[in-house]
Structure 1
Amino acid sequence: MSMKLSVKHTVDQWFNKIVKNPALGVTVSILWLILINWIAFGWNLGNIGLIDETEPLFAEASRQMFVTGDWITPFFNGDTRFDKPALIYWCQAIAYAIIGVNEWAVRLPSAIAAFALICLAFYTIQWYFAKQDELEQVSRPNRRYKTSFIAAALMALNPETIIWARTGVSDMLLTGCMASALLCFFLGYAGKGGTGGWGLGTKGSGQRSGEEFSQSLTPNHQSQSEATSPFPNKWYLAFYVLIAGAILTKGPVGIVVPGLIVAVFLLYVGKFREVLREMRLLVGMLIILGLSVPWYALVIWRNGWNYINAFFGYHNLERFTEVVNGHSAPWYFYFLVVLLGFAPYSVYLPLSIVRLKFWQRSHWRSLERFQQFGLFAWLWFASIFGFFTVAVTKLPSYVLPLMPAAAILVALLWSDFFQDTEARQTIPVSSPTPPISPSFLQVSGWVNVVFLSFLSIALFNITHILGTDPAISNFHEQIQRTGLPVIAGVMWLVCAVLVAGLLLNRQWNQVIAINLIGFVAFLIFVLTPASFFIDRERQLPLRELSAVILQAKEPNEELIMLGFKKPSVVFYSHIHVNYLRFPQEAIEHIKNQAAKGLKPASVLLLAEQKKFLQMDLQPDDYKNLSTKGAYNLVRVPFKKNKTEKIDIS
């Protein structure tokens, strides 16, 4: 026991040393943020090819913008692409201009959006705990630093965030804009009456005057001139700019969802009218409209009702009210998405939420504004969860914007166990939530053990859970040969045992660290090798065939893709692809092309081997160019029959 206390005292002294040295505190914080974000998003970001089906659609539409200089209307494979607004395409096209047309450039906007969001969340949590220490007139650098470090790690190192931050689609950019906007709103709301500052250089012990502390830690200082200014303060201004970015990333949802969260929060705390006046809402709306509307006006001017019906009708209204593209799911779908997408920390979300006692409205309304941070995170989480549960079309990525709130909630739960040795006996009762009882945490801890154990068993038996992939022959056997299921199962089983040991020894504050370390190990030793395996078996054949197409294709020769639809071929081959679903459809199309007497008198055919065999072509009816994985690339020449008509029969 004495050894444990000695180690804890040493850690407390180390954090106090950091906080007494502002430069050291900032340096350690920056290094921590760089480390976790590089592990989560930067490492091997562009070393895996584009993933069909969705990612190449964005990549190629952005490449078309970059090549043609048309920055208004997105195109893919010769057709307009009205699925998403232009910001993600602009970001990817700019990345192409800087580092070239490659996978790194495609994914860089998503990774940067995630990195920026996590840095802002880190700052917000630092500021929140500094303000709480000021109110309680104590100094607890241990709690403040540990909680912000843990929150940033939880926000970066979870499956949902890692998947979308490493994928070149619009979801992470939307989440970055939306979640950053919400954090900026809260900083503007809660910081009324202070001045700007990082809040990392506070003194480690002793009292500080209210004026000194306020000047170094609060994000806004509303002077008399600012209070009467017609313009919003800097945090509200950032909120409006980021909302405009969200609208340019994914449309009306970029303002509807954050607006819903802010409205619910302000109504709950009884400050709706007061804060709307404070935010200079009219000016804010003009800023949002001024930044987001011009592109919409230009694209509608150029494409008319085609754009309005496709984007606003099909991709927004119908997705909320009807099932689109077969993406239906039961009402409990997002419970499973959050459980697995925020694993393994999701088991602590129920306790994190109950701990707040959010139903005690009078209590929350009586608190200082900054003390309502936990309530704000809960309403953020609940509003997004409820909104997309009501929506008929359901996809896992839709609830990505609630993951930052989930990380904040769990980090605030753990802050109760990150106390400083010197301050532990003098903590006032002004905290927005009373410390959680260890017995409640112990129950969640044992749920954690059970969850990790089930996860371990599932990974040991992953081949019985996964379906087959037609693009990978002997899929299950190949997975078993990699040894990854065994490594993953053993890894999480060890974590379950370690968590159980910590619970038996009542070392609560180390439980979350075991989960984080386990996930990092899982990412490095299982998920990354698995992604390379999937890329090698599933995507590499298509990239190799695209290279063959570039070399073999004659001018004006048509490329037909039969039986499957892989947009990555369009991106890597840089040519138009004609998608045909059925073998008979392909035969009829080739006959029609032959009858037209086109030059060159042939077509390229890229087909799954099973579909190709169903065409019943004779050996002299085609020339095999390459076979990779499950795909054949052949040239089908047009033949002349006895009546001199061009045919293939």
Structure 2
Amino acid sequence: MQRFSKGAWLTLAAVLLLLPISMMIIPLYDTSEPRYAEIARIMAQSGDWITPWFSPGVPFWGKPPLSFWAQALSMKAFGVTEFAARFPSWLCLLLSNGILLAGLRSLRGPRVALWAAIIYSTCTLVYISSGAVLTDPFLALGTTLSMVSFAMAVQHRHPALIQAGDQQRKSTSTQNESSSCWWQYGFFLGLAIGLLAKGPLAVVLSFVPVVVWYALNRKSIEITKALPWGKGLALIAALSLPWYILAEIKTPGFLDYFIVGEHFRRFLDPGWEGDLYGTAHRQMYGTIWLYWLQASFPWGVLMLAAMIGALRSSRLRVAMKATSDDPLCSYWLASALFTPLFFTFSANILWTYILPSLAAFSVLMAIFADEICSRFNLSGRRLLSVAGVVPAVMLVLSAIAWINPDLRNTERSLVRYVMQRDEATVPLFYLSKPPFSAEFYSAGQVREITQSELSQAVEVGTPFYLAIPKSEQKIVADILGKQIDELYSNKRYALVRVPSIKGTPPPTSIQGSLQKTEKIVR
């Protein structure tokens, strides 16, 4: 046990500490990450903590503000960098691990708790999203807190759920009895976090497994007495309701778009055209299960392999039977399966939707791993080596992105090239709507210019930089009347410097930008 614990703790620490390396060196790739990072940057700059802004004059109604609050505060503390934008997601991973370790230590003992934290942290989707600028890690934090808190509250109310004869678990439970009140309110705190991170969907994802588990155990469980429902619901209302009210008052129409559009039309209408901030992600029904395999890799594949192997191996069947005998097994199973089942018949889905279900899956996998190791006298080293697969791959991909950041769509290098030219009066224009990464890395200083405006702007005395879509280089060459002298290029754009040519004044729409004297800042 001691040797396993030392190796397991070192593995978990290495996994968690490797992630910030990727967070610092990988650029923000369009579109999701820089879009959310730019929203947070605008919030930090403007001081508007009620309404996230998609662009000047356009409120972002797609998500509640919890992640943007955290990212904006991080930028105020660490500066406007990739690390600052991603740091809150990493904190969510640390907090989720703390919840799993503290709760499962009482419920199943320290080995299972440690396995659960390692498995959860090294699932592909968890590892990637915990180092990315997304809202989903905050939703997962809330649902994980609610899930573990409910299990702890029920255990306190019904001590018989602790397996008979397991003195270590009984002792641990007695020691933690003083913290039972915290766990009871932790369930409702998790719901409030989910409401402020993703919306009402968080309540559905947390409540349905509770209802399913109660339906299977209603003769022996008093669920109404396990939690302080009155005070708990009041806590949720006090924490989350004020923002929803203020958001509707400040930008009328928010509740209709967010509650009805984002939570019903998006999933029921495969061709929903009401999305104000992107495009519908239409997929075949059932695609969520393919996403589940990707999101849970390598542990999901390992679990499926074990289930198939159990058809022939009696030893694996014994371990699976022991896992299913856990008093809370049906609750963990309902929490792990409800999310993919919920989205099975939804066409507009992303693989990030799987994230809230992975904590419960990790608990089940941890119980199974512990049974395998303890019943068959295995050290656990081979399973610990599986935990290194995803971090190792991500470290390699991070090194590739550091060497060649323009392999994917990002404007970091192009914008920095302009910044390093040290020409304070020369603005940067995009001959298209500037990508979100350009907005973020230029601190909102880049501007769009149309072809008609460009034909007039070349006559202006003030020079400017122009990022041209590679498919439109010939058009721009015709407008300039000469061959393009390319200064820099990335995957999407070629950068040129339009020299000063005295002539007619610029169009009003770009005159202000051309006259700016401040330097584009990071």
Which TM-score bucket, shorter chain as reference?
0.7 to 0.9
Deviation at 1:37, TM superposition (A): 1.7
Return the offset for 1:514: 4.1
Q: Within 5 Å, which residues of 2 pair with 1:73-472? A: 73-78=51-56, 79-130=58-109, 144-145=110-111, 147-192=112-157, 214-218=173-177, 233-270=181-218, 274-305=222-253, 307-323=254-270, 324=272, 325-350=279-304, 371-419=326-374
TM-score for both structures, normalised by structure 1: 0.65
Q: CA deviation at 1:97?
A: 2.1
Q: How far 1:628 moved relative to its partner?
A: 2.5
Could you tell me which residue of structure 2 aligns to residue 60 of structure 1? 38
The alpha carbon displacement at 1:601 in A equals 6.9
Deviations 1:456-512 (A, max 9, x none): xxxxxxxxxxxxxxxxxxxxxxxxxxxxxxxxxxxxxxxxxxxxxxxxxxx795553
In structure 2, the residue matched to 1:437 is none
Shift of 1:549: 6.0
Q: Say if 2:8 and 2:384, in contact at 8 Å, map to a contact too.
A: no
Structure 1 pair 374–628 and aligned structure 2 pair: CA distance change class (3 A) = same
**Distance change in 2, residues 1:277/1:330 (3 Å):** same
Q: Distance in 1 between matches of 2:362 and 2:405?
A: 30
Change (3 A) 1:272 1:388: farther
Distance 1:341 1:335 in 2: 10
Q: Which residue of 2 aligns with 1:528?
A: 398
- Tell me the distance in 1 between the aligned counterparts of 2:444 and 2:168: 68
**Partner of 1:607 in structure 2?**
468
Does the CA contact (< 8 Å) of 1:349 and 1:410 recur in 2?
A: yes
| 1:352–1:186 Cα change, 3 Å | farther
On the 8 A contact 2:86/2:133 being kept in 1, the answer is yes
Contact 2:414 2:495 in 1 (8 A): no
Q: Which residue of 2 aligns with 1:632?
A: 494
Distance in 2 between residues matched to 1:417 and 1:313, nearest whole Å: 47
In the alignment, does 2:19 pair up with 1:71? no
Q: Deviations over 1:363-384 (max 9, x none)?
A: xxxx9xx943222111001111
1:543: which partner in 2? 413
**What's the CA shift for 1:167?**
0.4
What's the CA shift for 1:292? 0.5
* % same residue: 21
Q: Give 1:553 deviation, angstroms.
A: 6.7
Root mean square deviation of aligned Cα = 3.9
Amino acid across the alignment from 1:161: V
**What one-letter code is carried by the residue in structure 1 that aligns with 2:243?**
W
Q: Within 2, Cα distance between the matches of 1:334 and 1:247?
A: 23
Q: 1:554 to 1:43 in 2, by over 3 A?
A: closer
Partner SS, residue 372 of structure 2: coil
Contact 1:353/1:378 (<8 A) preserved: no
CA distances 1:429-456 after superposition (whole Å, capped 9, x unpaired): xxxxxxxxxxxxxxxxxxxxxxxxxxxx
- 1:69 maps to a residue whose letter is G
CA distance in 1, matches of 2:70, 2:169: 44
Indicate the structure (1 or 2) with the bigger Cα radius of gyration. 1
Kept in 2, the 8 Å contact 1:623–1:636? The answer is no
How many residue pairs were aligned? 481
Q: Distance in 2 between matches of 1:245 and 1:272?
A: 30
Q: Supply the distance in 1 between the matched residues of 2:212 and 2:169 (Cα, whole angstroms).
A: 32
Q: Match of 1:71, as an amino acid?
A: W
1:118 and 1:152 in contact (8 A); partners too: yes
Q: CA deviation at 1:329?
A: 1.2
CA offset at residue 625 of structure 1?
7.7
**Offset, 1:310:** 3.5
CA 1:71–1:161: 2 relative to 1, 3 Å? same
Contact 2:267 2:347 survives alignment (8 Å): yes
Verify the 8 A CA contact 2:266 2:348 in the aligned structure 1. yes
Distance 1:191 1:88 in 2: 32
User: Are positions 1:46 and 2:24 aligned together?
Assistant: yes
Q: Which amino acid aligns with 2:289?
A: F
Q: Name whichever of 42-51 and 412-421 sits farther off.
A: 412-421
**1:513 maps to which of 384, 388, 393:** 384
Q: d(CA) in 1 for partners of 2:392 and 2:93?
A: 21
Instruction: Tell me the distance in 1 between the aligned counterparts of 2:246 and 2:185.
Output: 25
The amino acid of 2:291's aligned partner reads V
The equivalent of 2:442 in structure 1 is 573
TM-superposed CA distance for 1:166, in Å, is 0.8
Q: Distance in 1 between matches of 2:67 and 2:358?
A: 21
Name the counterpart of 1:35: 14
Letter aligned with residue 319 of structure 1:
R
The CA distance in 2 between the partners of 1:61 and 1:207, in whole Å, is 51
What is the distance in 1 between the residues matched to 2:490 and 2:360?
43
Go from structure 1 to structure 2 and tell me whether the alpha carbon gap of 1:96 and 1:411 turns closer, same or farther (over 3 Å shift): same
Q: Which amino acid aligns with 2:68?
A: Y
CA contact (8 A) 2:27 2:412 kept: no
Tell whether the 8 Å contact from 2:9 to 2:114 is kept in structure 1 after alignment: no
Q: Measured at CA, do residues 414 and 242 of structure 1 come closer, stay the same or move farther in structure 2, by a change above 3 Å?
A: same
Please state how far the C-alpha of 1:394 moved relative to its aligned partner. Answer: 0.9
Name the aligned partner's letter for residue 62 of structure 1: A
CA contact (8 A) 1:622 1:634 kept: no
Rounded Cα–Cα distance in structure 2 between residues aligned with 1:219 and 1:400: 31
Distance in 1 (alpha carbons) for counterparts of 2:496 and 2:220: 66
Q: Which amino acid in the other structure matches residue 280 of structure 2?
A: G
Deviation of the 1:249 alpha carbon: 0.8
Aligned partners of 1:627 and 1:82: how far apart in 2? 36
Say whether the 8 Å CA contact 1:622–1:636 is kept in structure 2.
no
Matches of 1:322 and 1:558 in 2, distance apart?
Answer: 40
For the residues of structure 2 that align with 1:290 and 1:165, how far apart are their CA atoms?
A: 28
* Counterpart residue identity of residue 263, structure 2: N
Q: 8 Å contact 1:159–1:343 — kept in the other structure?
A: yes
Alpha-carbon separation, structure 1, partners of 2:333 and 2:167: 31
Runs of 5+ consecutive residues of structure 1 not aligned to the other structure: 1-11, 19-24, 131-143, 200-205, 222-232, 356-366, 425-506, 581-585
Q: CA separation of 1:589/1:277 partners in 2, compared to 1, >3 Å: closer, same or farther?
A: farther
In structure 2, what is the Cα distance between the partners aligned to 1:301 and 1:217?
Answer: 44
Instruction: Write the letter of the residue equivalent to 1:105.
Output: A
The letter of the residue matching 1:251 is G
> Per the alignment, in what secondary structure is the counterpart of residue 327 of structure 2?
helix
Structure 1 Cα separation of the partners of residues 336 and 138 of structure 2:
18
Q: Is the 8 A contact 1:545 1:626 kept in 2?
A: no
The offset of 1:334, in angstroms, is: 1.9
Q: Aligned partners of 1:167, 1:209: CA distance in 2, in Å?
A: 39
